[in-house]
Amino acid sequence: MGTFDAGVSSVYALKRPNTHGVYAMMVEGNATINGQALNRRDGFGIWNGYRTQHPGG
């Protein structure tokens, strides 16, 4: 869980990229993760070794 300010970027690297994934849920606001725009109540799953960057927005 995290709170991100507008204009601030962060990087998350999976701990075990071949066996684990991560799921992002946008509760309020909007952001772009790996080129995918997310708006309020959207979700996004990442797996298979992908690294994701969350540019604050």
pLDDT digits (tens, 9 = 90+) for 2-14: 788 888 888 888 7
User: Which range of residues forms the domain containing residue 15?
Assistant: 9-55
C-alpha distances (whole Å) from 55 to each of 5, 17, 18 are: 9, 21, 24
In the DSSP assignment, the letter for residue 40 is T
pLDDT at 52: 54
Domain membership of residue 44 (yes or no) is yes
Domain membership of residue 13 (yes or no) is yes
Domain membership of residue 48 (yes or no) is yes
Q: Give the SS3 label for residue 45.
A: strand
Q: What's the pLDDT band for 56 if we cut at 50, 70, 90? A: low
Q: How many domains does the chain have?
A: 1
Q: Name the residue with higher pLDDT: 17 or 49.
A: 17
Domain membership of residue 1 (yes or no) is no
